[in-house]
Amino acid sequence: MLLKDEFDFIKRIKPKNIHQTSLKKGIGDDSAVFEGSSTFDELICMDTMVEGVHFTKQTMTPFMIGYKALAVNISDIAAMGGMPTYYLVSIAIPSDWTEKELNEIYAGMSLLGNDYSVDLIGGDTVSSKQGLIVTVTVCGRIEKGRSLYRDQAQPGDYVFVVGEVGASAAGLELLLKHGYNYPYTDSEKKLLQAHQLPEPQVEAGRILANANERISLNDISDGLASEANEIAEASNVELTIDYEKIPRSDYIKNYSDDQKKKWSLFGGEDYQLVGTMPKEAFTKINQTFNQKGVKLTIIGEVTTGHANVYITMNGKKERLHKQGFNHFK
């Protein structure tokens, strides 16, 4: 039987028994969490980028590939409220990639790693017959008991988004059509940058973790619709999102309504954050966000329900299905 859904597959392989008593959170969130020192818990996550699936030589330079491979993992640490500390890289190299290109991949990682004081501590290097494959594992830490899980949403909470969505998917569409050497406008270059060089929301995650409130959080890798559904499923609640309140990138405002809807709800790879918080916590948390110059937007609310997400558009309420990126659809 061919694999048809990555999320169902992940649910099926989730272990029913845990051997290590230090494990606090295994499969099912942005990072695994286990006990570390008396003051910190440890975080660990891993993502893979595959040539022809996540990138091609026409859409990203080697430097961008390395930068993004690390960024998407740091984003998972951010979604837990944590601080990234170390990373490991496993790279499978085909014969058509040069040593210069490979050095550029690691230069991209190094630049971002320096920005977040993350150290490269190991990995593996092998050959590949199917294209370049880059797998990055990032470790992090967070103050004990402060990890932000997807299962913390409760009826009465606000649904919020950190940052803006839609730009990355728009940038990818341009890249697939023209490649990265096309004479793009300045506005289009911003869309490309959102896709090629995403900025993880580590500072926002830290603000939320330090708020000492009951907050659920998820990073927007597979699309807002998909990530909101993950929170609804993990928390067993219903989320209702007001489409008009979703903070969309200014750089997609001149595109058609259908394009903006597709990119902002289902496009993915924005690596912003979506979550929930108690309504009474919003004012104080938003003050901190404003002080740091980070955009926090309320887009809906949580109600009692059956682990579904709904969206209101043009006076109508309809189900928002988990239609983001899925590797096997």
Please check whether residue 171 is in contact with residue 252, taking contact to mean a CB–CB distance below 8 angstroms. Answer: no
Q: Quote the CA–CA distance of 105 and 254 in Å, as a whole number.
A: 34
Check the annotation: does 115 bind a ligand.
no
203: left (phi over 0), alpha (psi -120 to 50) or beta: alpha
Q: Is 106 marked as a binding-site residue? A: yes
34 is in an annotated binding site: no
Residue 20's Cβ-count burial label (10 Å; 0-12, 13-18, 19+) is exposed
Q: Is 178 annotated as a binding residue?
A: no
CB-CB contact of 225 with 313 (8 Å): no
| Strand pairing category for 83-93 and 133-143 | antiparallel
| Residue 257 annotated as binding site | no
Please tell me whether 47 is known to bind a ligand. yes
Is 325 a known ligand-binding residue?
Answer: yes
Task: Check the annotation: does 29 bind a ligand.
Answer: no
The reply, when asked if residue 258 is annotated as ligand binding, is: no
Rounded to a whole number of angstroms, the distance between the first and last alpha carbons of the chain is 14
Smallest Cα–Cα separation from 236: which of 302, 322, 300, 305? 305
Residue 251 labelled as part of a binding site: no
Q: Which residues are annotated as a binding site for ATP?
A: 106, 123-124, 150, 221
Q: Which residues are annotated as a binding site for Mg(2+)?
A: 30, 47, 76, 124, 219, 222
Q: Which residues are annotated as a binding site for substrate?
A: 54, 269, 325
Q: Which residues are annotated as a binding site?
A: 30, 47, 54, 76, 106, 123-124, 150, 219, 221-222, 269, 325
